Structure 1
Amino acid sequence: MSDRPSPLADPHIAFDPAEGRRDIVVLGSTGSIGTQAIDLVLRNPDRFRVTALAASGGRVGLLAEQAHRLRVAQVAVAREETVGELRTALRARYGSEPLPEILAGPDAATQLAASPCHTVLNGITGSIGLAPTLAALEAGRTLALANKESLIVGGPLVKALAEPGQIIPVDSEHAALFQALAAGSRADVRKLVVTASGGPFRGRTRAELEHVTREDALAHPTWAMGPVITVNSATLVNKGLEVIEAHLLYDIPFDRIEVVVHPQSYVHSMVEFSDGSTLAQATPPDMRGPIAIGIGWPERVPDAAPAFDWSTASTWEFFPLDDEAFPSVNLARHVGELGGTAPAVFNAANEECVEAFLSGRLPFTGIMDTVTAVVTEHGRPTGGTSLTVPDVLEAETWARARARELAAKATAEARA
């Protein structure tokens, strides 16, 4: 563990509560995190105000509805071809009133991330969230980070820009660690214990996973998420990414970050201290709690999410991770220890393979087989602690192309 203060989230840092309402920019507003964040804002108008929204452009009707209801100043879409449809949808809701400013293109969300506000909630899915993350940090905004991929693929870049306490994690696991770590100093931490639901395939062997379907993988037992994150939960890639994220956020070595399967998803993560005490953060599965921590810290938002009914009996179970059936966590540890461009290669290859699986071009077990092959072929990473954005982009481009090639080859061989 490093002796220097972490440049990222530290629950011991004293924040100055914002005067009045906090202005928030929501990136990925039509996704799962974004819609739940907006619900939280609308239920707490005295605490929060959304000033700008960004989305991919796949759900322009919902985006227009959000913009009108929140009365935002700016709306951004990544897909420029959807601007006309968005303007029509906005006009239908605003009538003769002035429309919000519309930004479009791949850099639109990045522009909003640097706009005047208190907090940027980055709920974008995938490594395309890296540029907005860097822009928000460089502009001095508090970053509520749900886009774990940007930290994973650009770790040294993000850490170099982040001031102490500038990033508040929104993942349920890291929001849990963030809160539990407040009970002691980093020197007292023995290990971080990251919990995993086990996804829809908990208890299945590698052989039993070979023929599972898209519908099987998307049937998560406890969480309602987007398709990419849900498949990542089924392969446990999501948990591997969270191990890397925990290492980067809290400067805890990989050999002191453990994953344990907890099917009920009540305990979101735990911190074991040197005296043998373990502190667990627990709530019913609901992302509004971690989102409220991300946009409201250091103050808590009353009734942000449901609490337990302690008068009702319940059973909480914990199981070891099956590394043979789910090799993704160990592979993530490996690329995390390699550093440099290795995490970017791992993440980019996985994104391509998940897309191939969802479209029926790759079997479920082919996801990790292909990702492992791409990571192995990549070999020694470049960049190290001197990683640059071009390094990341070049590595991602290669990894995506190679993953597509290997996936296509696997499909052709299966059909032969």
Structure 2
Amino acid sequence: MATRKRLLILGSTGSIGTQALDVCERSDELELVGLSAERSWEGLVEQAGRHGVRRIALAEEHAAARASEAWTDGQVLGGPEGLVRLVVESEADLVLNALVGSAGLGPTVASLGEGMDLALANKEALVVGGELVTALAEATGAQIVPVDSEHTALHQLLAGQPPGAVERLTITASGGPFRGRSREELQDVTVKQALAHPTWAMGGKITIDSATLMNKGLEVMEAHHLFGTPYERIDVVVHPQSLVHGLVQMADGAMLAHLGPPDMRIAISYALHGGESVGLPVVPLDLTAVGTLTFEAVDLDAFPCLRLAREAAREGGTAPCVLNAANEIAVHAFLEGSLRFLEIPSVIEQTLSQLGSEPVRAFESLYEADREARRVAGEAVAALA
């Protein structure tokens, strides 16, 4: 029997993490060696017991302390340093980073620095880290495999294509819960309405990013870094059915499309099994039942976050890091009820305008830009409250 792949899952209690555990339970090729969460210590301890894991980490120190008191069957590490230590000492062959937000950058750097292959669901690590992250992977020989439906689709479509064969990439967007609404119709939308995604069941932050279309801006940056495609050759199109996950336009004018059910286990399994398709309990598409596939342009007036993300991407330097930090602060404020929906892009734009972009020479430049952007965005939120 072939040696099983040692897998570490960061963010195992979230949507991606729980689905990854479902994939693991069905595979005899994967051996779990560690799990982590931000603060959900009870769920993490339950997962560790169920899967025979003896080492876990919680990013929130108080939660780690609670877990240490309640769980005596293994070791509990705490804080951001504990998370990095879990990675470095795990001897994992593959790390699935399903953490939320820029908190995923440190463990991404630790994984790649150790030469561990990275299944990346935390797109913010590439948005913030950019060329520094991809250069680190190249230096250590570690592979980065995307874990989301759009980039998994593009990864499969691009496999084996010779240089010069692909002209453009297209990322699809469901349009979120507010597709078709004008800017005026978005003035008074509620948190409950914004969290009611029509297709995907996700965590709060990514669901709001989907509603504002900021997630597509982050995905454009991720595609740029993953596939080396210039920004001007990456398109975003609204596709309400969420069945076409990505498209590539070939040099001869032909287009290749990746279709599949909207089930994240497909993308997760693809990444965890080294880019191979293995059996899953997923019902295939019945195209006759689907009937119609439709596509629409993005309304940038109603959803300016995509425009802001593209502008930050073209600016480069610390601008994507500032954009991401400001977005995290604004989304958190919206979820707490202290910011209106259309004020999310306002806070981001104000923060970008105030801080601009600085050259990135090392990871410390990014950590400093992140801290400063959070301070400025927090002040902008307070001014609007």
TM-score range, shorter chain: over 0.9
Map 1:98-247 → 2, pairs under 5 A: 99-114=73-88, 115-163=90-138, 166-182=143-159, 184-247=161-224
Give the match for residue 73 of structure 1: 54
8 Å CA contact 1:262–1:316 kept in 2: the answer is yes
Q: Structure 1 stretch 70-79 or stretch 301-310: which is displaced more? A: 301-310
Are positions 1:258 and 2:240 aligned together?
no
* Contact 1:289/1:304 (<8 A) preserved: no
Alignment check: 8 A CA contact 1:268 1:281 kept: yes
**Equivalent position of 2:18 in the other structure:** 35
Instruction: Tell me the TM-score normalized by structure 2.
Output: 0.96
**2:359 matches 1:383:** yes
Show the counterpart of 2:7: 24
Give the superposition deviation at 1:183: 5.0
Deviation at 1:231, TM superposition (A): 0.2
Greater mean alpha carbon deviation, residues 157-166 or residues 111-120: 157-166
What is the alpha-carbon distance in structure 1 between the residues aligned to residue 84 and residue 150 of structure 2?
A: 26
Deviations 1:102-131 (A, max 9, x none): 111122222222220110000000001101
Deviations for 1:71-121, whole angstroms, at most 9, x for unmatched residues?
A: 113111111212343135435xxxxxxx12211112222222222011000
- Contact persistence 1:26–1:120 (CA under 8 A): yes
Q: Distance in 2 between matches of 1:113 and 1:265?
A: 34
Alpha-carbon distance in 2 for matches of 1:168, 1:368: 30
Instruction: Determine the C-alpha separation between the residues in 2 that align with 1:186 and 1:345.
Output: 33
Choose 361-370 or 306-315, whichever is displaced more.
Answer: 306-315
Higher mean displacement: 232-241 or 279-288: 279-288
Matched, 1:60 2:44: no
Does the residue aligned with 1:332 lie in a helix, a strand or coil?
helix
Equivalents in 2 of 1:111, 1:173: separation in Å? Answer: 31
Distance 1:165 1:194 in 2: 25
CA distance in 2, matches of 1:103, 1:378: 35
Q: 1:285-304, aligned counterparts within 5 Å?
A: 285-303=262-280
Give me the whole-angstrom Cα distance separating, in 2, the residues matched to 1:304 and 1:277.
32
Match 2:369 to one of 378, 395, 403: 395
Q: What secondary structure does 1:61 align onto?
A: helix
Residue 297 of structure 2 aligns with an amino acid whose one-letter code is P
User: What CA deviation, in whole Å up to 9, does each residue of 1:180-214 have, x standing for no partner?
Assistant: 11252241111000000000000011111110000
The equivalent of 1:351 in structure 2 is: 328
Residue 49 of structure 1 aligns with which residue? 31
TM-score of the superposed pair, with normalisation by structure 1: 0.89
Secondary structure, counterpart of 2:71 in structure 1: helix
Q: Which amino acid aligns with 1:391?
A: S
C-alpha contact (below 8 Å) 1:286/1:306 kept by paired residues:
no
Q: Is the contact made by 2:118 and 2:142 (CA closer than 8 Å) also made in structure 1?
A: no
1-side partners of 2:352 and 2:276: how far apart? 42
Q: Distance in 1 between matches of 2:142 and 2:113?
A: 14
Which stretches of structure 1, 4 residues or longer, exceed 4 Å deviation after superposition?
Answer: none
Checking the alignment, whether the CA contact within 8 Å between 2:10 and 2:96 is kept in structure 1 is yes
Aligned length: 382
Residue 304 of structure 1 and its aligned partner are, at CA, apart by: 5.8
Q: Distance in 1 between matches of 2:172 and 2:142?
A: 24
Q: Which amino acid aligns with 1:161?
A: L
Asked which structure has the greater RCO (Cα within 8 Å, sep 6+), the reply is 1
* SS of the residue 1:106 aligns to: helix
The 1-side partners of 2:128 and 2:185 are apart by 32
What is the rounded CA distance, in whole Å, between the counterparts of 2:204 and 2:192 in structure 1?
Answer: 10
SS in 1 for 2:9: strand
The aligned residue for residue 371 of structure 1 is 348
- Residue 404 of structure 1 corresponds to 378
- Does the 8 Å contact 1:60/1:89 carry over to 2? no
Contact 1:188 1:274 in 2 (8 A): yes
AA aligned to 1:245 is E
Contact 2:120-2:145 within 8 A present in 1 as well = yes
RMSD: 1.5
Q: 2:351 & 2:322 partners in 1: Cα distance? A: 8
Counterpart CA distance in 1 for 2:37 and 2:290 is 41
1:288 and 1:304 in contact (8 A); partners too: no
Q: What displacement does 1:311 show?
A: 5.1
Q: Secondary structure at the match of 2:289?
A: coil
Provide the secondary structure at the position in 1 that maps to 2:379. helix
